[in-house]
Each structure stands twice: as C-alpha cells, then as structure tokens.
Amino acid sequence: MLPPQRALGLGALVAVASALAAQQRPLPLEPADELARFELAPGLAAELVASEPGAPKVVDIAFDDSARMWAITATEYPYDGNERADAADKYKGGGGDRVLVFDDVWSKEPRAPRVYADGLFQPLAILPWRDGALVGHGPELLFLRDTDGDGRADAREVWLSGFGIEDSHLLPHRLMRGPGEWIYVAQGAFNYSKVRGSDGREVRFDLCKLARLREGGRDFEIVCWGPNNIWGLVLDARGQMWIQEANDLGMPLMPLFHGAAYKGIGDDKPHAHAPWQPELAPFQMGGTGLSGLAELGPPFALEPDGPGDQTFAVANPIANSLQSIRAHEGGGIWRLERGPDLLVSKDPWFRPIAVHNGPDGCLYIVDWYNEIISHNEVPRSDPRRDKQRGRIWRVRPSEHVPVRPRDVARAPAAELPGFLLDGTRFEKRAAWRELELRGTLAQAPALFELAEDPKATVEQRLLASWSVDALGGAVNELPLRFSMHWDAALQAEAARLCEPLARDRQRSTALNLVGAYEPRVALAALRVFATRDALSPAEIERIAEIGAAAAADRTVNPLGAYRQFIASQARAVLEHAHARLDRGSAEARAFAALALPDRESAHALAALWPELARPPRAEEIDRLLIAHWAEPTEAALADAVRTALGRAESRDALVERALAATVVPREVPLRAAWGDAVRGTPQMLRAARKLRLGELAPELTTLAWREPPGSAQRVELLRTLTELGAATPELCLRYALDALPGESLQREALQALVAMQGSEECASALVQCAASLPDPLARIAIDALSNMAGPWRLIEALDEGTIDEARIDAEHLARLQDYDFDKSAALARIAAALQRDAAHVVAFYGGDLDRIDTDLVLDGPFTIAAWVRLPEPITNADGILGRRGSADFNFADGRPRFYAGPQIGDVVIAARAVEPDRWTHVAFTRDATGIARVYVDGELSATGAKPCTSRFDGLDIGATTPPEGTFGLLTGWRSWDRALDEAELAQESAVAQPMSAELLGLRRGRAEIVRTHSGPPVLSPERAAQARARWDKYAALLRGGGDALAGRPVFERTCMTCHAVGGKGGTLAPPLDGAGLRSADGLLAAILYPSRAVEGGYRQWRIRTRAGDDLTGIVVRRDEREVVLRRVGLDDLAIPRADIASAEITSLSAMPDGQLESLPDAEAAALLAYLAALR
C-alpha cells in the first residue's frame, strides 16, 4: 500500500473562500472613465500617457537622457521562490514580460510603445544605461544592450547575481544613479542573498537593505540596513537622498545616510551599537503599502519657508491616492509635515505603485490598476488578480503645457556644461549623467568655474562638482572651499570629495568637518575615514573626542538620535582601524576602549570607570557582560559586575542591558546577585525568564495563583514559569478555562499544558480542556491526548460523553488503532462514521490490463482532470487517460504530458514534475483553436506551442502506452467538452467529486476500489456547506456594522500580541494599518483562513535542535552563524546553526485558525468593525 498522507484541505478552503465573496465586486473601468473619478488638488490636471493593451501591468518606469520613457511589465507577478521550487527555472526559461520604450509621451493621443526586450519573468527594476538598460530580473541584475542600433536588445550581460527570490514582492527594485558614479538598488525584507559582482566579490545581502554598485557590477556594497521595503528612493536638488518605508510605520519619508540602520523586519544592523534612525513623521499616510516617492520641483508652484524646504509626492496604492509631505530643514534636522492629497481616486482599482519626475517636470504615475494590490491578499491564481490592465498617468499644474526637453544624450560633450547653466532640472541632471559617461578633462575648466561660482545655485554647484569628480582629474581646492561655505549641502559635498583621497590636505579638511554641527556633514566626513586601515594619533584622538561628546548627548529628539548615530559611526571608524588611545580625556579613552576586542575592551573599561564622573553607559555595560559571561571565573570582571549590581545608580541599567542581550548563557554567573537585584522590581518577570533565575519560581507561582482573570500580567507569569519549567498542570488548566474569550492566554496555557504532557494530572487537565474549550483549541488538547503513551484517558472521556465524538477525526483514530475498538462503544461509532465518510479511490497496480474501460472520445475542445498519487519512480508508464498508439496523458519524467501518438508527438508538457506520494490535481485542456494547456494543482503550468485538433477514440482511464502501466491512486475524474480556465479548475478541484458507481464498475485488470482517510485535500460537500455557513455568518456580522469602539479592546486582547496598528503592538505578523481598505471578502478571508495566502516572511518555521527541542516561530534573521526565531510573547531566540538538527518553512501562518469562533458574536462583530475602520 502507498503510505498515508494527511489531507490539510487548505487549497480547498481557499477556493471556497474565493467563491463565497459576499459583496458586489467593483468592475474595471476604461481609462477615460477612471480619469473621470480622479479628484485632484486645486490647480492640478491629469492625463493618460499609456495603458493596456500596449502596456499591460507596467510595474516601473524610468527616463533616459533623450527623454524616452522605458517601462517593464510584470504580468507574471507574484511568483515566490519560497512557495514554488520551479521559480528559479522560470527566470532561466523566460516568461511573458517585456521591456518597453516610449519614444514620445507628449502626443495628444497616447503612443504605442516599441518592444525593446521580451521573454522576461516578472522583472521589477529598470534603469536606462548607455546603449541599453539595466533590468532587475529575479536573482540577477542584467544589462540588456542594443549593439547593432536596431532598437532591440541583442546582448545580455550579468552584472550581479545571487539575489534571493524567496518573495517576489521584494526582488531587487528602484534603481537610481547617484554621485560618485554609483548606482543604487533596493531589496525587500524577506529575501536572502549572497550577491556576486563582476569583480568576483561576494556580499551577504539579507533582508531589506539598500546597496550600491558601479558600472559592470563592480564594488557592490551595502549602504543602509532596513527599513521595510524601500519603494521610494530620491536624490534631491541639494544632494540629499531620501527613502521611504513601505508599511507606514511612522517612516513615510527619511533622509538616507550611509551606514544607517532603520527599524524593520529582522532588526538587522551593521553594528550592534548602531542606533535606529529617528522617526520624523508625527503622522501616518494610511495603509501598509507606500510605493513611490518623487520631489516636487518646477513647474509646480511651491512656496518654501526656507532654502532647505521641499515637497515630496507619495504614492499610496492602498488608499488609492497620491499624497504629499513637506520637509523643513533647519538646526541640523528635518521636520516633516503632512501636505495635501494631490490625487484621490474614487475608483478602488487605481493603484499607484510608483511615481517619478518626468523630463517635462510633471509627475508620472504607474497605476497597477487592479482590484487586488496586496501581495498576500489572495492566492496567485485568484481570478481577481488582473493580469492585463495597467496605466501610466501624468499629473501637472493646469496651466503648464508639457513639452519635450532637449535631447541631452545627443549633445556634443563640449556643450554639456552649458546645460548645467541654463537647462531645466531634467536637462541639468541629464548633463551630469552624460558627463559621467562620456565627458573628458576638456570640460573640467568650465565645470570648476561653475562649481566655484558663488552666484550659482547650490544645485548647479553640486552638479558641476559631481561632474568634475567623475572626469577622474584633480578636484583642486573644491573640498576646502566647499568646507568653508555656510550651506550644509556644500559642506557635505566637500567631505564626499575627500572620501576617495588619501592626501594630507583632504584628510585635514575632512577631520575638521567631523566636528560639524550639521549631522549630514559630520557623517559624510566620518565616511572619509571609514575604510582607512590606519589612522594617525591625532585622527584617533579627534574622532574619539567627537564620538564621546556625541555619545553623551541624551537629547530626546531627532537631533539627539543623529548625535548617537555620529557616535556609532565614529566607533566603527576606530574599530576598523584597530585604533588604541592612551591620551586625551577619560571620556575619549572610554569611548575608544569600546572599539577594542571584547576582552581587552572590558578590562580597559572596568579600569576606567572610577575616573568617569557618571554611571556606566549601555554600550560599556554590554561589553562588560559579554566578557564576563564568556569568562565567568575572571575575578576582575566578576567583581565589576557584582559591584555594579550592588549599587543603586547602576543596578537598573545593568539589568536592562542583560534583558536586551541577544545571547545569554544557560547558566548565568552570579545568579544570587542577579536574583537579589531584580526581586520585587518591575523587571522581575522578564529577568527571571531571560536569565533563567529558577530561584524566583516559588514567588512567581504564588503571584500567578493570585492574579485575577483579565489581568495582562497572567500571560507574562505563565510564560515565565513555562520557561523556568515551573508551570503546573493545575495552573495551566485554571488559566485556560477562566481566560477571557479569544484571549491569547487561553491558547498559551493549553500549549504549555501540551508541552508538559505525561503525568496523570496533565492528562486530566487536557480532558477538561478538550471538553470545555472552543473547537479549534479543543482539537489541540485531543491531539495531545491521542499522542500520549497511554491514551486511555481520551477513550474513557469519549465513552463517558465528556468529549464530543464529532471532534475526533481519522488521524486521531489512526493513533488509537492498537486499542480494541470493540471495548469502546464510542470508538466503534466513530470508526463506523469515518468509514462511511472515507474517500473512495481507484488503485492501479501496474500492467497494461489495469484501467477503467471508458472508451472515451476526445474531439474538439475538452478538459480532463483527476487527482493522482503516484509513488517513485514516476514515468510515462503512469497516466490518467490513454490508448496505446493514440493519445496518452502521462507523466514523462514525472511531468504531466499530453502525447498525441507517434505521428504528432508531444503537444504540451508541464514545467515541473509532480511530487511523489503526494496527492496532485492534474488537468489538460484543449481550446477551439487546438492549443493545449496543462494545469497542476489548479495553476497553469505550460501552454502548447503548436495546435493539435486531432480526434482521439477509445481512451481509457489509467491506460498508457508502455506495458508497465499505471501504478498509483486516482480519484476525482472529470471531463468536459470545453476548455475550462484556471479559475474554474481551481474551483472544480476544491470540492470532492466522487466517481460514479457506473464509472467504477468499468474497472479492468487488478484495478480496485480502496477506501482511505488520506484522500485528496478537498472538502466533502458537507464540509463545503459548513464552510459556506461559517463564511455567511461572519460576512453578515461584518456587514452588520458592529461597534468599532468596542472592538478596539477586543483587538488589544486577541490580536495585538502579534499585530501592530499605528506603530504599537507586536512584530510577529504584518501591521494592520489600512486593513479596512482591503475588500470586505479579502479582510474576512485573511481572518478565517490565515494560511491561505500568507506572505513569505510570515510563514511559520519548525526547528528541531540537536538537544531535542521542537521550536516554532517566525525566522526574522539568518546567516552563516545563527538563526533568530521570533515567538509570541517571548524574547527573540538566537539559535546557533551548529545546534540545529533540522529546519523547515511551512505554508502555515503563525496566526491560528478559529480566532473569530473563540469570541462571542457581539465581540466578533466589534472586532470586525474595528478592523474595517482602520484606514
């Protein structure tokens, strides 16, 4: 017999959810009708630039220096590598996406584009470059060249490779050119990469980061760490770069600094001491998908308050709008202000996913135009994902007539400096870019003259400086002159010019700028020394003094945060140079000591503390604790820790740093001292859990029994006692039974009980939970009882009627198979009921006689489909339908294949093989034109290249050409006289379709009917009806308008442990800002079926350690050394890779099923109303 397989039914639930959408879906509009629904700010106008069919699903655009608009399509999106093993093959084999070029975007009627390159698979990045374009294409950054000048790409160079393809939402994107001949590129939060450049270097590039490279793929390096998904990237007129955090967590606009760490998934940093960049926006834009950024300049009429004031356009596809933010620069920081909405659409299909400055000064908006925008809102195959439409819009001042600028790319090199003087903003930028690519030293005198001209604008002087720097000659006195200017933009440029130089004069200029008041200047100056392997004593002392002064700044505002960043960057400079300081102030020496190796640093700091007129700081404590825990017997270090714990002025700080440590020894030294330090303090619970202070367990147990129901402290107490191994079955039972409905404590108490199973007390408690808790939780208890060594308590409870028999499924029964069912009336009844409900499948045992004698005729359009489960090896001898010498629908090399006989040959073959010993749904279709398609598990796998209209007679189910015949299981056979589409096939495969008695009666050979509880993952008609009733109930509650205000405390109690709103809450799951902007059925499906389309980075991992511990959670960071696991309510756990026996990523969400069912209807309605109000 084939081995049993558990039927999860997830695909079936997905299809049922899609079918049960209880609302009137909005219909797509023609471009003119969509335009009529735009509400524009006063003085603005909008017009169509391009749309389908010529430009379907454009995902990004870019303009070249000839003012041509380049675009990439992503009709294949989304396709995730962490879900599909064949994703890498898709990029190699190519797809239906293209690079398009619009030579003219100013004609009254939108012009059709020309195709520059095709055969691509969901590219996400585009940047025109020389005689072609750079394209981000899955794992590679490609240079697609046109070497013969015919307007089509004919050469392909790989500049970079090794980008992760786990999550297609987060592939390399937003290419942008910057000064210094750099090209910038972003990567999203859930991909793991080891990027290889053309120079042979490899760079680990995991999670969300921004990087830069030079031409050809040289010098690839990381620029910043985080934030979540940088879809907005801008270089402003004052040389400052800006980025945008997509998820609206308080960072819709941020200045970009090299080496900065921005809060995001994985909490990744360049150094442990790197501070998080400050959040500058005291407001939110709404939604969780900010997708583009552009600086508003001429011709938009703006009235800045000062020379550093700017306005930015923000693309917000969740809110169907183009918004704005004003940035006011002053006092070394920026103040952000929410500006007016520039465009709001009444059409919910309007999805602005990118916004760019055009060559004419107007804004160009990429409109994904789709009912579905969220990557994980519905499965990839959901028919609501539009694959054809897409628009590009232009927004401009009403009185401004866009005209084509001059063609800078065709201008002679000698004329390029002149564009910097009298050109539009686009022409100035284009001249700088062209000078980088083809300028010569002959243009240097004119550029120097402009750069040094005090009457020129800051923008002109910067562009001239960038250009002369790119020519490769001497920069002369520019760094010194810029450094003495009052404007921070020119001072920062002075430091940038010094960065690649090693002469004393430039180093002296940069060293003076290190102490600048403006953070952007000081940070740029520190970059000059960041890669120096050796520093002079004077440089070490100066940098240490500046770093110490910045570290001492405790100002609670953005400027204070930037001072901490300056301190971190100064420390990184000293670390890189292995600098030591034995002169200067005690503060400077203490700061420099932090840059030493751990052990040396700890001893130096311990010796310096008596000289410092202050308690030790966080970084200093960290260094001491790391060294002390590594060498617990080192007397000097132990004495320093013991002394600090005994002093009131340092005790709290020491405890806080211990709690913040990512790695803590299993046996913490000085346990008694730590216990005395935290006993009776607010940190006692966390410290007992983190430091494993078992001495505190008796006191915590007493507190746990005293804590009343509804108290948030109960969760913390239970987690701590569980971590210490001190939780008892009695306590867990009490917490599980008297927790408030839906409270996370209920599930956690049950899970703690399951983890300690084995005793009689535990079994008794589990029986009570199985009898009393709501269905999803009760099943957890039953699972545990059925897995226990002696499951007699479960059987006894069933016979006594304590546990509902309906909660026992086939898997539970299989675990109890060694028990004599005749001795238990309940088990006998359950077994009989399950036998009646068992799936009927046909087993084929090989040989050319095994078949179902259908004598089927296929003539014209058709669809045939079946569920199959085949053991290894899977060959062309296995099939679902055929006749020797005629059509044969088999599995050549494991891949579903339509073979039309020896005269015609192969018609279509699936792109990937089916998995052995796993139920797979396979379907073949042929349309009226004779084009055949093959579908695997409801999704299109391949389309035939040539039509086949032949008639096929006498076909039998299970018959194939080879004499070995089919060996495996088959069920759910269906056939139609038309070609079903992908959506219909997904729906048809979701619900069980029993084969008729007449069909089963046509079995021949050894083919037999087998009953199994491990059938395909489909719903029975009864379960489908239950799912429909469940959906209808909660859809009615959602439509019924519950009390949103009453829903907030329900959300805080049941959801906020994992989800955040407004930047407050957990980080185990996606933020829910803007949840109400999702479709009603999308919102409801995400709650009822959380695992149906979960985003890659939020899938649950199962990890087993070599010590035998089974751990589940979300992996937020992984590298060669360790994996960091995030779990509900617990500190992040760093697991060394050497300690991991096995690890797998599941398709399941960390969110449990049954959240709504665990609540009374009034609370469920209130929670739904609250979520629907989040906009």
The arithmetic mean of pLDDT across residues 809-830, rounded, is: 77
Peptide bond just before 31 cis, omega within 30 deg: no
Does residue 159 register a pLDDT over 80? yes
The predicted model scores a pTM of 0.80
> Is the separation of the CB atoms in 453 and 485 below 8 Å?
no
DSSP state of 871: P
List, by residue range, all CATH 2.60.120.200 domains of the chain. 839-1012
Query: What architecture (CATH level 2) is domain 839-1012?
Result: Sandwich (2.60)
Residue 7 confidence (pLDDT): 33
Distance CA 723, CA 726 (A): 8
Does residue 1078 register a pLDDT over 80? no
DSSP 3-state assignment of 533?
Answer: coil
Pairing of strands 218-225, 888-892: unpaired
Summarised one tens digit per residue, pLDDT across range 385-431 is 888 999 999 999 999 999 999 999 999 999 999 999 999 999 999 99
Summarised one tens digit per residue, pLDDT across range 709-736 is 888 899 999 999 998 999 999 999 999 9
List, by residue range, all CATH 2.120.10.30 domains of the chain. 37-397
Residue 460: CB atoms within 10 A of its CB come to 18
Residue 1093 confidence (pLDDT): 62
Does residue 14 register a pLDDT over 50? no
Residue 734 confidence (pLDDT): 95
Residue 1029: CB atoms within 10 A of its CB come to 10
Distance CA 445, CA 610 (A): 58
> Among candidates 273, 365, 263, 358, which has minimal Cα distance to 323?
365
DSSP run (H or E) holding 865: strand 862-869
Does residue 2 register a pLDDT over 60? no
Token pair of 555 as six digits: 């100002």
Summarised one tens digit per residue, pLDDT across range 290-340 is 999 999 988 887 665 666 789 999 999 999 999 999 999 887 789 999 999
> Among candidates 636, 533, 519, 644, which has minimal Cα distance to 569?
519
Residue 1 confidence (pLDDT): 26
Summarised one tens digit per residue, pLDDT across range 992-1009 is 778 888 899 999 999 999
Summarised one tens digit per residue, pLDDT across range 731-744 is 999 999 998 887 88
| Top CATH class, 1051-1172 | mainly beta
Residue 270: CB atoms within 10 A of its CB come to 17
Residue 114 confidence (pLDDT): 96
Distance CA 748, CA 1128 (A): 9
Task: List C-alpha distances in Å: 993 to 177, 374, 981.
Answer: 57, 32, 18
Distance CA 906, CA 1157 (A): 51
The arithmetic mean of pLDDT across residues 951-964, rounded, is: 95
Summarised one tens digit per residue, pLDDT across range 611-657 is 988 888 888 999 999 999 999 999 989 999 998 899 888 899 999 99
Task: List C-alpha distances in Å: 1151 to 43, 85, 285, 948, 1174.
Answer: 47, 25, 26, 47, 19
Distance CA 1035, CA 1029 (A): 10
Residue 706: CB atoms within 10 A of its CB come to 10
> Is the separation of the CB atoms in 367 and 393 below 8 Å?
yes
Sign for the pseudo-dihedral over CA of 500, 425, 222, 141: negative
Question: ∠ at Cα 222 (219, 225), nearest 5°?
Answer: 175
> Is the separation of the CB atoms in 1172 and 1164 below 8 Å?
no
What would the CATH number be for the domain defined by 37-397? 2.120.10.30
> Among candidates 1039, 1065, 1041, 1037, which has minimal Cα distance to 1051?
1065
List, by residue range, all CATH 2.30.30.100 domains of the chain. 1051-1172
Q: Which amino acid is at 556?
A: V
Q: What is the mean pLDDT of the chain?
A: 89
Pairing of strands 260-261, 218-225: parallel
Pairing of strands 194-197, 333-338: unpaired
Token pair of 136 as six digits: 């981000």
